Structure 1
Amino acid sequence: MELSAIMSPANYPEKSCSYSQTITLTNRRQIVQTRKLKYVRKASPSLKLPPVITDCDNAEVIGARERKGKEWIHFVGVGGCGLSALAMLALKQGYEVSGSDMTWSDAMDALQEAGARVYIGHSELNLRKNNGLVPDSLVVSSAIRGGNVEILHAESGGIPVYKRGAWLGRITKGYYLIAVSGSHGKIHVMSACVELLRSDKMSGFELYDIYQLRLILEGKTTTASMLAFVLNAMGDDLTAVIGARVPQLAERNIICGTGCNFVLEADEYDCCFLGVTPQIAVVTNVDWEHVDMFQDEEAVKTIFRKFIGQIRVGGHLILCGDSPVACSLVNKTGSGSALPVLRNDAFQISTYGISSCNDWHAVSISPNSCGGSDYQLLHKGLHIADISLQMPGVHNVLNSLAVIATISALSTDQKNFLSSIAYLKLHLQNFGGVSRRFERIGTVRGCHIYDDYAHHPTEIQAALQAARQRFPFQKLVVIFQPHTYSRLAALKDDFAIAFTNADRVVITEIYEARETNLWKINGRDLAISIVDPPSEFIPSLIQVLEMLVVHISKDPDHETVILTLGAGRHSDFYD
């Protein structure tokens, strides 16, 4: 294993060198102590990699330690990405698992195949077995509202009911937790743009890259997935929970390991991430994304400040320094600028981004022959390595910088970290991305079909920038299904200017998700507000499919890229 030193000390084979150092840690009782750690480390056949600060002594790691009996957990709203991942992890850790949802999903297929009992519809009958037993705990999705019959039945019967955030706090207790958080940026032109315009390190950049170098992070899902993949590939026997499917992971959205490290995609929705206390927290950026949950951007900043405040003493904050809003969370000057004034007495802070003000930054970003991006990695102005990614877009460069900064923070020896950079580079290059993040669906008669989860104006800009990087001369047709009435009502003007890199835009009816239309808004309103490029409103995905069949048949020799965007059920469209 290449990253044997990241494994739990208890899991090292009785082989090779001894190692000792002084570390500061916080145990489950939140008592800070300093002690000498001695353990036997497995010898790597390739190189000596940096040991990582972890502590599993006397930890109550649910699923990673022996339990008395087999606990039954029932998940309410199990069909979604977030809760289905937690249900699958519970199965792999030895729990008895059941779950329910109002509609069937692919995730429920996987859970049923793995041994869970899953039900369509919510009923108190789902909480009873023939032998009279009931669940030991209920875990409830953030999408489930009050008055749910299963929740009411559990509460009346004295069954503990956990919201998703509280359950995350329970299952991550005792692990060395790396929590990756972040929402999506508004259309702020960053200081990084000015930095690049003044520099001579712009090789390979098209003009649209410069103007789109805003805070266009793909965000926590890709960053968490990339981090989990790279650590796992380097030999870390970690546990991970991701809010999307990762094709290169055996279990798609989880890793069930026996080591001490836990990589978690930490979601601010419903304040879920306030249930955890990370050793390392990553904040990609901060913005008013969940308009149905937070009143304004200031409310979002308040909740992120609380999250940062939960970093364990002696821990580490990894922050995108190109985001003024993210920097303002800890910037004591209040200026919101990415300057080296970020200080905190309780934990360390490292920044990453395009600007040279950051600890970790990228220069000479350029498209590569694989359709991805190459760049030079610098740390505090010193060249470290040349990085190559198979995923396009500046946002993925930023994601990889976050991963590099995090793995560096995991290391206790910077020299050994630098000696391992060749392996880190290799695994970053091998990472193929996340399902529904600029995912290639196929090619039909010269039409390249891609799908992306983008449902926020900034995400859309990032997806289109990536598409233009990979297909600079082809016609780009975008099909967008808006997600929730509240988001479209609040951000309609931002959506209207987010499609400028497309040649044609089709807007469908809104995917309502958990909402009713109190705003009296529909997809046609957005289509009308888009001035450039040409746009039209086609209500149903079936009608869109019929339009595409005609389009492809009419001009089979002309190369076209079709990109579907949105957080709805596009799998039905492709089926």
Structure 2
Amino acid sequence: MSNLDHISHCYFIGIGGIGMSALARYLKQAGKNVAGYDKTPSALTEQLVSEGINIHYQDDYDSIPAQYKDVNNAQVIYTPAIPVDFGELVRFRESGITILKRAQLLGQISKTMTCLAVAGTHGKTTTSAILTHLLYESKVPMTAFCGGIIEKYNTNYIHTGNKVMVVEADEFDRSFMNLQPEIAGVTAMDADHLDIYGDVEEFEKTFEDFASLVPQGNLLTTEVVSLPGKKVGFNNGDYQILNYRIQDESYYFDFKTPNQLFENIKWNLPGKHNLSNAALAMSMAVEYGVQPEKLIKALGTFPGVDRRFTYRLNSDELVLIDDYAHHPTEINAVFQAVSELYPDEEKLVVFQPHLYSRTKDFMDDFAHSLAQFDQVYLLDIYPARELPIPGITSQSLQNRIEKITSGITSMVTKDKLENELQRSNKRIICMLGAGDIGVEIKKIAAKWVK
């Protein structure tokens, strides 16, 4: 963080974001004065306030204390999710103060430690969280910036030292190109963010560019990734998952490194995709130099990540699963997991599409992924940073699904969702999406648990 050594005050625009809040915590812990703006209060902003970080919720440059506007001693950090014409951002630019994107600050920090970066269209949050837990339990001094809340720790930021940095390498806005990774893992390269990249070829080229940042021999990928590097796969690769099986709702598997075979390892997160994530995280830790025996012991205590196949309710009467899945491949992974766990039961999914552009780009893929479920409820598209696209609606997605399946597909509003779920009489319910559906499922779970 040498570039910020002279900085005393740091102001975050969009401080409540999962990545921004971790950086705010890092700078606060480093002795900086930290404040920021976010659109609405949330559990994350409340936690930041409790840690001594000042946050306001109005676009009001004039109310920001003068110390955070000092061009010599202050630094502004913003997320690309903030519109370019946002008032505070415009005024800060006019003032001449130094402004960094979130990814640029992460890049600066990555140069001060041994950086272990996890990239990929899906699974990077879970994989980086697993890697964080493995290193924490193995007593490696590290600083971790996670893209989700690790449940046992109840935080997205963990600091035990400055030897190693664990970071989620985000492909959105080409953010990961700012990093300086010593070891990197790539979970998947399914196309996404085509509103940014334009086409699949450009998307894949940027992953190739990211791979070129990694020292030769230090890139690890799952077997579905076409990049050159050490492979982590089922029954093949430099690191192998062997003999995996389900017993009492847990996975058991053997793990083969380039030098050793370890048998009968227990893993608690459902889904073959999460088993792949765990193997990639273990492989990265082995490449860093942690003894596999320590990692295997730690793996059995990984508590999970909030909204990554999180059980909100799990009883003989009702199973309510909350997942961030917002891409067709991720929906497929959730369906695969629930099908393995509950092969003989009907399954209902509630899906909130995220972004008009993503819904447009993958309309048919979404329809086929969702049609696998016995019953589908669709919420309106969560727009996030986007304006509507003519003809792209949840209703148009419903029409596509109904051409594929004879199962029940319905539009539903948030205020009627609870009643509709009760009427369905389904025991297995999955609620998926990257918007505010996570808030709705917690409300419903809180009512039903009483």
Would you say same fold, with TM above 0.5?
yes
**Within the alignment, does 1:80 sit opposite 2:22 as a pair?**
no
Amino acid at match of 2:353: P
Query: Comparing 116-125 with 497-506, which one deviates more in the overlay?
Result: 497-506
The match for 1:352 among 232, 236, 240 is 232
Amino acid at match of 1:85: A
**Within the alignment, does 1:239 sit opposite 2:119 as a pair?**
no
What is the rounded CA distance, in whole Å, between the counterparts of 1:376 and 1:355 in structure 2?
10
The DSSP-based 3-state class of the residue aligned with 2:300 is helix
Deviation at residue 266 of structure 1 after TM alignment:
0.7
Note if contact 1:287-1:300 (Cα within 8 Å) is conserved in structure 2: no
Which 5+ residue runs of structure 1 have no aligned equivalent?
A: 1-59, 185-218, 331-348, 412-416, 553-558
What is the rounded CA distance, in whole Å, between the counterparts of 1:457 and 1:424 in structure 2?
31
Q: How does 1:162-201 map to 2 (within 5 A)?
A: 162-184=100-122
Q: Which residue number in structure 1 is paired with residue 263 of structure 2? A: 385
The match for 1:363 among 215, 225, 242 is 242
Deviation at residue 536 of structure 1 after TM alignment:
2.3
Q: Which residue number in structure 2 is paired with residue 546 of structure 1? A: 419
The match for 1:402 among 280, 283, 289 is 280
Amino acid at match of 1:318: L
Deviation at residue 497 of structure 1 after TM alignment:
1.0
Query: Comparing 140-149 with 543-552, which one deviates more in the overlay?
Result: 543-552
**Within the alignment, does 1:265 sit opposite 2:202 as a pair?**
no
Deviation at residue 533 of structure 1 after TM alignment:
5.8
What is the rounded CA distance, in whole Å, between the counterparts of 1:422 and 1:533 in structure 2?
50
The match for 1:253 among 156, 177, 189 is 156
Note if contact 2:10-2:68 (Cα within 8 Å) is conserved in structure 1: no
The DSSP-based 3-state class of the residue aligned with 1:243 is strand
Amino acid at match of 1:490: D
What is the rounded CA distance, in whole Å, between the counterparts of 2:9 and 2:171 in structure 1?
27
**Distance 1:130-1:169 versus aligned 2 partners, 3 A rule:** closer
**Within the alignment, does 1:318 sit opposite 2:255 as a pair?**
no
Note if contact 1:240-1:254 (Cα within 8 Å) is conserved in structure 2: yes
Deviation at residue 147 of structure 1 after TM alignment:
1.6
**Distance 1:62-1:159 versus aligned 2 partners, 3 A rule:** closer
**Distance 1:129-1:503 versus aligned 2 partners, 3 A rule:** same
Q: Which residue number in structure 2 is paired with residue 564 of structure 1? A: 431
Equivalences, count: 439
Q: Which residue number in structure 2 is paired with residue 148 of structure 1? A: 86
Deviation at residue 121 of structure 1 after TM alignment:
2.5
What is the rounded CA distance, in whole Å, between the counterparts of 1:376 and 1:571 in structure 2?
34
- Aligned-residue CA RMSD in angstroms? 2.2
Deviation at residue 572 of structure 1 after TM alignment:
2.9
The DSSP-based 3-state class of the residue aligned with 1:103 is coil
The DSSP-based 3-state class of the residue aligned with 1:493 is helix
Query: Comparing 518-527 with 130-139, which one deviates more in the overlay?
Result: 130-139
**Distance 1:478-1:301 versus aligned 2 partners, 3 A rule:** same
1:185-238: per-residue Cα shift (whole Å, max 9, x none)? xxxxxxxxxxxxxxxxxxxxxxxxxxxxxxxxxx11100000001100111121
What is the rounded CA distance, in whole Å, between the counterparts of 1:513 and 1:410 in structure 2?
37
Amino acid at match of 2:219: L
Note if contact 2:11-2:68 (Cα within 8 Å) is conserved in structure 1: no
**Distance 1:515-1:354 versus aligned 2 partners, 3 A rule:** same
**Within the alignment, does 1:299 sit opposite 2:202 as a pair?**
yes
What is the rounded CA distance, in whole Å, between the counterparts of 1:240 and 1:110 in structure 2?
18
The match for 2:382 among 484, 501, 511 is 511
Note if contact 1:138-1:162 (Cα within 8 Å) is conserved in structure 2: yes
The match for 1:537 among 410, 414, 420 is 410
Relative to its length, the structure with more helix (as a share) is 2
Which 5+ residue runs of structure 2 have no aligned equivalent?
A: 444-450
- Aligned identity (percent) is 28
Q: Which residue number in structure 1 is paired with residue 127 of structure 2? A: 223
**Within the alignment, does 1:116 sit opposite 2:53 as a pair?**
yes
**Distance 1:520-1:374 versus aligned 2 partners, 3 A rule:** same
Note if contact 2:69-2:97 (Cα within 8 Å) is conserved in structure 1: no
1:381-406: per-residue Cα shift (whole Å, max 9, x none)? 96333321011111011111101211
What is the rounded CA distance, in whole Å, between the counterparts of 1:394 and 1:126 in structure 2?
50
Deviation at residue 89 of structure 1 after TM alignment:
2.1
What is the rounded CA distance, in whole Å, between the counterparts of 1:131 and 1:248 in structure 2?
34
Deviation at residue 244 of structure 1 after TM alignment:
0.8
Query: TM-score of the superposition, structure 2-length normalised?
Result: 0.92
What is the rounded CA distance, in whole Å, between the counterparts of 1:103 and 1:406 in structure 2?
37
**Distance 1:520-1:456 versus aligned 2 partners, 3 A rule:** same
1:334-386: per-residue Cα shift (whole Å, max 9, x none)? xxxxxxxxxxxxxxx42101142x101112221121x1211111235963333
Deviation at residue 520 of structure 1 after TM alignment:
2.3
What is the rounded CA distance, in whole Å, between the counterparts of 2:18 and 2:173 in structure 1?
15
Q: Which residue number in structure 2 is paired with residue 23 of structure 1? A: none
What is the rounded CA distance, in whole Å, between the counterparts of 2:233 and 2:261 in structure 1?
15
**Within the alignment, does 1:107 sit opposite 2:44 as a pair?**
yes
Amino acid at match of 1:542: D
Q: How does 1:450-489 map to 2 (within 5 A)?
A: 450-489=321-360
**Within the alignment, does 1:525 sit opposite 2:396 as a pair?**
yes
What is the rounded CA distance, in whole Å, between the counterparts of 1:390 and 1:534 in structure 2?
31
